């Protein structure tokens, strides 16, 4: 069984194939082999050249690669021809979008799990000021069940997130200030880290969905679109507060990422290359961290929890089992 391992390439250079092996050669001519049998996905942050021979090999091993711009924002994905296909499952997935009640159930499930993890983050901090925010979040979350359509549900989620981020800023201990969420572009270091993490989460979810029969463009909370894999955004509602937000706090509060790991341009703030490396190391470590699954009775990684979420959705679509989103119990 192929191990889950992401390859992150921050340097510019060339990716080459020699027989059934691939190598990354940087601009100084230094070559590094990439063990393709052990690779889950490849992430490019620099300018990398390659040819179609390489694409054929990546397709053979069912490896996605994701491209980001210099600042760490997601640009696009190459995904091989899907090897796992089920017309019946896709038809049922689409049917759950067209049925307003079925769609609302799934959309509400994603929001409910996301809010659960926001509250969990605040409670685990043991910060003396968060109790008021937790109470407000719990009160706002009750409105979720009164929401009659997707826009109203999105409104509840947005209100909860605003309260959450106000509390989140109080958990940062290294002197950096975080007042509210801003993006495109991020205007401060904390927002830069959250945006970078959210881009990684999007591509991580896409890579896991690709291993299943789900269609990543057919979504429920977010409107299905031709320009994005919107099901990734749905599932990310669950995992951003579970994985990205605690990771950002840990990196800042443990001073693994400091002021010198950022750069600014035209008022926008981004992680520099060293900052990206530190973040990516911690992100990969987090994805590979395991917890004892209550139902499976074995250890599973955070990465595999994402794939399990996809499997649960498939079971829901085909009528095997009603979908219940993961809510961290550990």
Domain topology for 6-78: Ribosomal Protein L15; Chain: K; domain 2 (3.100.10)
C-alpha R_g of the chain: 20
- What pLDDT digit, counting tens, does each position of 132-147 carry? 999 999 999 999 999 9
pLDDT, position 4:
65
pLDDT, position 269:
96
Encode burial over 157-189: b for 16+ CB neighbours within 10 A, e otherwise: beebbebbbebbeebbeeebebeebbeebbebb
- What pLDDT digit, counting tens, does each position of 290-301 carry? 999 999 999 999
Domain 87-317 in the same topology as domain 6-78: no
CB 317 within 8 A of CB 89: yes
Report the candidate in 196, 306, 212 with the shortest Cα–Cα distance to residue 252: 196
CB 27 within 8 A of CB 13: yes
Q: Which class is 87-317 in CATH?
A: mainly alpha
Residue 249 parent element (H or E): helix 245-253
More confident residue, 318 or 35: 318
Per-domain residue ranges for the chain? 6-78, 87-317
- What pLDDT digit, counting tens, does each position of 226-266 carry? 788 999 999 999 999 999 999 999 999 999 999 999 999 98
- What pLDDT digit, counting tens, does each position of 18-76 carry? 887 899 999 999 999 998 888 999 999 989 999 898 999 999 999 999 999 888 889 99
Percent of the chain with pLDDT over 70: 99
Residue 9 parent element (H or E): strand 6-9
């Amino acid at each position: 069984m192929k191990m889950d391992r992401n390859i992150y390439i921050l340097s510019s250079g060339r990716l080459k194939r020699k027989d059934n092996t691939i190598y990354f050669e940087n601009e100084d001519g230094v070559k590094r082999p990439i063990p393709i049998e052990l690779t889950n996905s490849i992430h490019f942050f620099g300018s990398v050249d390659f040819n179609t021979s390489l694409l054929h090999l990546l397709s053979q091993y069912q490896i996605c690669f994701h491209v980001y711009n210099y600042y760490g924002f997601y640009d696009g994905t190459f995904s091989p021809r899907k090897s796992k296909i089920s017309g019946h499952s896709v038809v049922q997935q689409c049917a759950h979008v067209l049925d307003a009640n079925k769609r609302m159930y799934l959309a509400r499930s994603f929001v409910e799990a996301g809010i659960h993890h926001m509250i969990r983050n605040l409670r685990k901090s043991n910060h003396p000021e968060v109790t008021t925010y937790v109470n407000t979040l719990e009160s706002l979350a009750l409105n979720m069940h009164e929401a009659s359509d997707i826009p109203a549900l999105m409104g509840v989620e947005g209100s909860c997130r605003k309260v959450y981020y106000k509390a989140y800023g109080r958990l940062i201990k290294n002197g950096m200030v975080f007042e509210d969420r801003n993006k495109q572009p991020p205007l401060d270091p904390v927002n830069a880290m959250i945006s970078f993490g959210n881009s990684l989460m999007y591509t991580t979810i896409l890579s896991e969905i690709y291993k299943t029969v789900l269609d990543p463009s057919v979504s429920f909370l977010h409107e299905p679109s031709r320009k994005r894999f919107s099901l990734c955004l749905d599932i990310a509602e669950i995992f951003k507060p579970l994985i990205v937000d605690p990771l950002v706090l840990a990196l800042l509060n443990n001073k693994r990422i400091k002021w010198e790991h950022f750069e600014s341009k035209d008022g926008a703030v981004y992680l520099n290359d060293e900052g990206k490396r530190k973040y990516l190391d911690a992100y990969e470590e987090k994805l590979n961290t395991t917890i004892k699954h209550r139902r499976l009775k074995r250890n599973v990684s955070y990465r595999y929890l994402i794939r399990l979420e996809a499997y649960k959705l498939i079971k829901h679509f085909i009528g095997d089992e009603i979908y219940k989103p993961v809510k961290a119990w550990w």
